[in-house]
Amino acid sequence: MPIRLQREDFDAAAEAAALVGTRTDIGAVVTFTGICRGAEDGAPIAALNLEHYPGMAETEIACHVEEAQARWPLMGVTVIHRYGRLTPGENIVLVVTAASHRQDAFAAAEFLMDYLKTRAPFWKQVEHAAGTQWVEARAADDAAAERWSTQRRSRQAAE
Amino acid sequence: MKIVYFAWVRERIGKPEEEIEPPAGVVTVGDLVRWLAQRGEQYAYAFENPKVIRAAIDRSHVTPDAAISGATEIAFFPPMTGG
């Protein structure tokens, strides 16, 4: 399964190895792991609670994986997003992309992460000494996701 | 139709989902937000700033001008913070 939503941890190295398997046409594998930080805005945190919209989260991620596959000649993609209570140091998200050449693998991994941040129905709540607080969406994340559609529009205009 | 809420929208309203039957004049997602907002204090609080509320119809993102007719499940939630 290339897309998984789960409470359990994942093993990034094992996922990358599984994606490549015995193939010898893959020349580049990019593995991105998002990890729970121990502090937000300088204040220590106890945990992150990740809420998601079951059903929609899978289809939304699948839609962007398909788009990544249409944009770059990928030989494999794995996306794992955890939900539930995660403590500092724990893995949150994994994106693995495989291609013949590194540029495609890097670009597709970055594209997928930018979209996961702004379009996948997940919400982070920070747990700290004073209580809980929902993480606010960052304008920088919207801008990061938006640049991919700008690139697409300019590419379409050039064609 | 079934309405589902997530994150602080869910907390403010005080329930994760409910069945509603909006009146005929409620045509778009934006209309539905305005109609829900006047159902009580908790709803007014959840929808006090409609610009930040995101919506999905049958598990696909939609904009406030989307028509709600034929929808089975409509979701309201804050901007997403995954990844």
Contact indicator for A67, A151 with CB cutoff of 8 Å: no
Phi, psi of A149 (to 5 degrees): -75, -30
Q: Which of A53, A80, A115 to mutate to test the interface with B (most CBs of B within 10 A)?
A: A53
For residue A120, pLDDT beyond 60: yes
Q: Which residue of A has its CA nearest to B58?
A: A56
Q: Which residue has the tokens 């990844």?
A: B83
Domains in chain A: boundaries? 3-158
With respect to CATH, is domain A3-158 assigned 3.10.180.10? no
Q: What is the pLDDT of residue A154?
A: 62
**pLDDT attached to residue B34:** 97
Q: What is the mean pLDDT of residues B3-28?
A: 97
Residues of chain B found within 8 Å of residue A134, distances taken between Cβ atoms: 7-8, 78, 81
- Is residue A1 scored above 60 in pLDDT? no
Query: Does 3.10.20.30 match the CATH number of domain B2-77?
Result: yes
Q: Out of B6, B59, B60, name the one closest to residue A51 (CB).
A: B6
Distance between CA atoms of residues A13 and A67, nearest Å: 25
Q: Who among A59, A93, A120 is closest to B80 (CB)? A: A120
* B32-38 average pLDDT score: 97
A51 CB within 8 Å of a chain B CB: yes
How far does the CA of residue A24 sit from the closest CA of chain B (Å)?
A: 30
Mutate to test the interface with B, among A92, A123, A125, A146 (most CBs of B within 10 A): A123
Residue A146: predicted pLDDT? 85
Please indicate whether, in this complex, the C-beta atoms of A121 and B83 are within 8 angstroms of each other.
no
Q: How confident is the model at residue A156 (pLDDT cuts 50, 70, 90)?
A: low
pLDDT digit string (tens) for A121-152? 999 999 998 899 999 988 888 888 888 887 76
Q: pTM score, two decimals?
A: 0.91
Distance CA B39, CA B51 (A): 19
CA-CA distance, A7 to A10, in Å (whole number)? 9
Does A25 score more than 80 pLDDT? yes
Is the pLDDT score of B41 beyond 90? yes
Which amino acid would we find at residue B18? E
Structure tokens at A133: 């607080």
Map out the domains of chain B as residue ranges: 2-77
